[in-house]
């Protein structure tokens, strides 16, 4: 059994042992935390080579290929291999690389032949490395990159198999892969605050690291998301205060990493249902899990369970009415009253929709999934701002309505048709809950009036909440 031991930002996959064997294994990944590797970084996979003493004559020829690939569409740049000292001083050695642009599977082959006759009987060290460049692209968060061996392919020269040889025999070393890692700055515990990125946080060492970075010119956090403790905007003093409150005053846990919100529907439903700026993690996970259970268990027989949740506003978007003077200042880049708020809430873009006397307004769009009704309160009262509101989405359509009854969530799948979106003429409801990982179907109702009283009041509350 392998045991993960973290030191600094290194993931130690297996510790070097005294007993030798014919084996190649992944020793460590730099940088990494748990089974995560950060976007926007150079990631190095370091390989341990062990040569057994039992083979007469020792190692004479080696040929070992590896491929870097993604099962879910991740991309990366520039795959290359290198020898690490003190690798054996073979007379002839090479590294063959094929398809190293991060498109599909990239291949790196380590090969060598000791034509000088210096046969090696025993060896055990970290000898080879394979390096990739991962772009700084949030679209990659949650995707997977894997490293595995490759054998029996004629792409390798001069041999086509994963093999080692002595003067008298050929044999196959073992490989402990494949190894797969999730891209993103989220630590393996799913929570921010591991500022020094050593899988041990959040703790006082992370607090010290953050203070050093903010006030004394210290190094940037290896994973900036981990340093953004409250999950809002860039790293600033608010993150330091948040971490102090959590560590010493019983404050709330640090926000989850963006990686936690890989399901947009669940994240948006969670902020709508909770009324919080950012989706509470437990609620997000409950909605995500229960919708998957309902759709898996009933999707073949009731197609309406595929209807997705869509709120009446666009998440993470504000419509801001401004005075004519403020609109001119925004257009010229001279309006700075909201700079700190935009940084804090991680602004993505500003779009001027209209600069016209008395009716000027702009659109602010933010990263992540933020509740716009809650977010709007932060911008009310700024100089030159006339009003702030969500970007409302009007119209009737099939929809998923949710009602939280204690710890249980009731899911009303409403299919609707006929003159949508002006106002659907016909509708029907399918009602579900989830109990012990089993989807419980509470009936089909061909219209609103046929929904029984024990469910009607919850449906009414869900409708009321929807239009708030």
Rounded distance, CA 404 to CA 274, Å? 9
Domain segments of the chain as ranges: 5-183, 204-259, 261-310+395-466, 314-392
Mean per-residue pLDDT, 254-282: 81
Residue 123 exposure: Cα atoms within 13 Å on the Cβ side: 23
Rounded distance, CA 461 to CA 408, Å? 15
Question: Beta-strand (E) ranges in 367-457?
Answer: 385-392, 399-405, 408-417, 426-435, 438-445
**Distances, alpha carbon 387 to alpha carbons 107, 371, 380, in Å:** 56, 17, 7
Residue 186 exposure: Cα atoms within 13 Å on the Cβ side: 23
Rounded distance, CA 274 to CA 457, Å? 19
Asked whether the beta carbons of 172 and 165 are under 8 A apart, the reply is: no
Count the helices and strands in the chain (H runs, E runs): 9, 23
Q: How does pLDDT run across 168-196, given as a tens digit for each residue?
A: 777 788 888 888 888 876 554 567 888 88
Q: Which residue has the higher pLDDT, 120 or 63?
A: 63
Rounded distance, CA 227 to CA 219, Å? 12
Three-class DSSP category at 349: strand
Going by CATH, does the domain composed of 314-392 fall within 2.20.25.10?
A: no
The pLDDT assigned to 188 comes to: 47
Rounded distance, CA 211 to CA 236, Å? 10
- Report the chain's mean pLDDT, rounded to a whole number: 83
- Say yes or no to pLDDT of 361 above 80: yes
- Cβ neighbourhood burial of 49 (10 Å; 0-12, 13-18, 19+): buried
Residue 236 DSSP symbol: -
- Say yes or no to pLDDT of 167 above 90: no
Answer CATH for 5-183 from 2.160.10.10, 3.20.20.190, 2.60.40.680, 1.10.472.50: 2.60.40.680
Asked whether the beta carbons of 334 and 325 are under 8 A apart, the reply is: no
The pLDDT assigned to 431 comes to: 98
DSSP 327-344: HHHHHHT---TTHHHHHH
- Say yes or no to pLDDT of 457 above 70: yes
Rounded distance, CA 455 to CA 445, Å? 11
Residue 307 — pLDDT band, cuts 50, 70, 90? Answer: very high
How many Å separate Cα 427 from the centre of its chain?
Answer: 37
- Cβ neighbourhood burial of 46 (10 Å; 0-12, 13-18, 19+): buried
Other beta carbons within 10 Å of 340? 11
In the chain, what percentage of residues exceed pLDDT 90?
A: 43
The pLDDT assigned to 262 comes to: 64
Q: Which helix (H) or strand (E) holds 463?
A: helix 453-466
Q: How does pLDDT run across 127-139, given as a tens digit for each residue?
A: 899 999 998 776 7
Asked whether the beta carbons of 12 and 27 are under 8 A apart, the reply is: yes
Q: Which residue has the higher pLDDT, 19 or 297?
A: 297
The pLDDT assigned to 79 comes to: 83
């Amino acid at each position: 059994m392998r045991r993960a031991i973290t030191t600094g930002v290194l993931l130690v996959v297996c510790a070097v042992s005294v007993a030798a064997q014919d084996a190649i294994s992944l020793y460590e990944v730099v940088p990494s935390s748990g089974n995560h590797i950060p976007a926007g970084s150079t990631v190095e996979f370091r390989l341990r080579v062990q040569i057994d003493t039992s083979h007469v004559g020792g190692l004479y020829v080696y040929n070992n290929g590896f491929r870097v690939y993604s099962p879910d569409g991740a991309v990366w740049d520039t795959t290359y291999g290198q020898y690490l000292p003190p690798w054996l001083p073979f007379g002839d050695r090479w590294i063959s690389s094929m398809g190293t642009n991060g498109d599909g599977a990239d291949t790196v082959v380590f090969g060598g032949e000791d034509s000088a006759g210096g046969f090696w009987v025993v060896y055990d060290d970290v000898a080879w490395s394979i390096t990739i460049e991962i772009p700084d692209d949030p679209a990659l968060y949650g995707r997977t990159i894997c490293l595995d061996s490759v054998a029996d392919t004629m792409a390798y020269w001069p041999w086509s198999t994963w093999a080692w040889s002595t003067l008298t025999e050929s044999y196959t070393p073992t490989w402990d892969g494949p190894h797969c890692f999730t891209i993103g700055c989220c630590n393996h515990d799913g929570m921010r605050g591991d500022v020094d990125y050593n899988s041990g946080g959040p703790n006082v060492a992370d607090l010290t690291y953050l203070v050093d970075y903010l006030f004394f010119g210290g190094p940037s956090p290896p994973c900036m998301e981990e340093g953004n403790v409250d999950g809002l905007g860039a790293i600033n003093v608010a993150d330091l205060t948040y971490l102090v409150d959590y560590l010493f005053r019983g404050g709330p846990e640090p926000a989850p990493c963006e990686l936690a919100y890989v399901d947009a529907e669940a994240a948006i439903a969670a902020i709508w249902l909770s009324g919080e700026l950012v989706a509470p993690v437990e609620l997000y996970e409950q909605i995500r899990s229960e919708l998957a259970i309902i759709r898996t268990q009933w999707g073949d027989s009731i197609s309406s369970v595929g209807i997705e949740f869509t709120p009446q506003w666009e998440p993470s978007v504000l419509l801001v009415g401004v005075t004519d003077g403020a609109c001119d200042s925004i257009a010229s880049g001279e309006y700075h009253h909201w700079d700190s708020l935009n940084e804090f809430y991680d602004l993505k873009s500003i779009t001027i929709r209209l600069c016209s006397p008395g009716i000027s307004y702009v659109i602010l769009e933010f990263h992540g999934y933020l509740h716009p009704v809650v977010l709007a309160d932060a911008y009310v009262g700024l100089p030159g701002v006339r009003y702030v509101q969500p970007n409302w989405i009007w119209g009737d359509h099939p929809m998923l309505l949710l009602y939280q009854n204690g710890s249980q969530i009731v899911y009303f799948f409403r299919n609707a048709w006929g003159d949508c979106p002006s106002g659907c003429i016909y509708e029907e409801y399918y009602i579900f809950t989830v109990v012990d990982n089993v989807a419980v179907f509470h009936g089909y109702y061909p219209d609103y009036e046929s929904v029984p009283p024990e469910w009607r009041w919850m449906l009414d509350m869900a409708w009321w909440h929807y239009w708030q």
